[in-house]
Amino acid sequence: MGGSGWLKLFQGRFAPQIGWMYPFALIGLAFGLWWRRRAPRTDRLRGGYLMWGTWLLVVGLVFSKMGSIPHTAYMSTLAPPLAALAGAGGVLMWDVWRKGARSGWALPVAVAVETAWSWRLSSTESGFLPWLRWLALAAGVVGLAGLVWSRAGRGGRSRILAVGVLAALTGAVVTPVAWSASVLDVTYAGSAFDASAGPSAMGAMGTPAGGGQPAGGRAGAAGGFSGPGGTVVTTLSVDQRKLYDYVKAHRQGARYVLATDGWNAASPYILATGDTVMPMGGFSGSVPEPSLDAFESLVSQGQLRYVLLSGVGTGSGGNAFAGPGPGAGSGSGTGSVARIDAWVRSHCTQVPSTSYGVGAGDAVTPGARASSPNAGGAGVGTLYGCGSRP
């Protein structure tokens, strides 16, 4: 998913998602620091350049060397400094250029580099609005010519300068604006698991969106995700609704309606009801939250009464509402969630599925996961009641 390397953010799947204004922002940063180099230590403008520049460089370096970046949405953390530096640097370079200072030549240099960079990025997807890169190139060239002519010419300098600046601005933003607007078309809308935009938008686990299926991936089973990148369904299956109604009616004022050993089991209930369901272990299933002590405290205080564990249940306790997957937490590994799973199995009471209106023979087996509308994107699981009354 991108690998590691100093040039990662300047190529591949990341540069077209966030990097359109790299040249203008970096040149603006360098010019701003140089222009304010003799200002007092408390100069607020230089302080702003230092703050935004530090943000941009530190986050960029971390992303470059952190290894795998699973989601292009992480690139949004670069948007604030890029916007601030491109805006502030552009205004400063424009002001210096109008005053006729020699250092103002940084503005046409920035326009030229930005135009070339935009051409390079848009050329990676030349089949997407093929006229767009030519428009950006033409606008950039006109803008550059207008800026230079306004400095050398004699008549109509202000009008030529205005045309040059508007053309340069158009050349800089027209392509990223088009790529951003493309998310209004489902073909380029990325997915809930990778919120990317444009023709290089990636669907499930790096699969290009729009390849004969919705950008979000496969159609999901009722009640949840069909897997990484799957379509999000915000309704519960019939059997999930029965289980939810049961735990809701018997919660006895508990803060949490239900706890699950992973996000995959919790997500259908959260999305469908908006209720307070605890996905233990976080997305990866390995986050030590809650700890076993904290979990026991919630049970003893009456804040949590029901826990839905993944894995194969026994007797009539099997049901179709939890299961393995990314972050699901199978309960068979190590760590906080596994310890909680073991504690629940030994200290809590298994609730027969017949108690909430699901017959023992109705439990979905792992082999039915792909075809059953009640699978919820998962296999089988077991409901436990913790407290004086199951």
Q: What are the tens digits of pLDDT across the range 281-311?
A: 887 778 888 999 999 999 999 999 999 998 5
User: What pLDDT sits at residue 68?
Assistant: 77
User: What pLDDT sits at residue 364?
Assistant: 37
Please give the structure tokens belonging to residue 294: 């904290």
Distance CA 259, CA 257 (A): 7
For residue 23, pLDDT over 50 is answered with: yes
User: 3-class DSSP state for residue 68?
Assistant: coil
User: What pLDDT sits at residue 334?
Assistant: 54
Distance CA 386, CA 172 (A): 60
User: What pLDDT sits at residue 192?
Assistant: 67
For residue 4, pLDDT over 90 is answered with: no
388 pLDDT tier (thresholds 50, 70, 90): low
Q: Contact at 8 Å (CB) between 300 and 366?
A: no
372 pLDDT tier (thresholds 50, 70, 90): very low
- Bridge partners (DSSP) of residue 260 are 279, 308
User: 3-class DSSP state for residue 159?
Assistant: helix
Distance CA 6, CA 311 (A): 42
Positive or negative, the CA dihedral 27, 32, 38, 41 is: negative
For residue 202, pLDDT over 90 is answered with: no
Closest CA to 199 of 191, 208, 207: 208
Cα–Cα distances in angstroms (integers) from residue 262 to residues 2, 194, 338, in the given order: 27, 20, 11
Give the pTM.
0.62
- The better pLDDT of the pair 348, 319 is held by 348
66 pLDDT tier (thresholds 50, 70, 90): confident
- The better pLDDT of the pair 21, 222 is held by 21
Closest CA to 123 of 110, 111, 132: 132
For residue 203, pLDDT over 60 is answered with: no
Cα–Cα distances in angstroms (integers) from residue 52 to residues 111, 115, 173, in the given order: 21, 23, 21
For residue 368, pLDDT over 80 is answered with: no
User: What pLDDT sits at residue 264?
Assistant: 84
377 pLDDT tier (thresholds 50, 70, 90): very low
Please give the structure tokens belonging to residue 57: 């460089």
177 pLDDT tier (thresholds 50, 70, 90): very high
- The better pLDDT of the pair 23, 150 is held by 23
Burial class (CB in 10 A: 0-12, 13-18, 19+), 50: middle
Q: Contact at 8 Å (CB) between 144 and 108?
A: yes
User: What pLDDT sits at residue 171?
Assistant: 93
Positive or negative, the CA dihedral 280, 217, 128, 116 is: positive
Percent of the chain scoring above 70 in pLDDT: 76
- The better pLDDT of the pair 91, 322 is held by 91
User: 3-class DSSP state for residue 95?
Assistant: helix
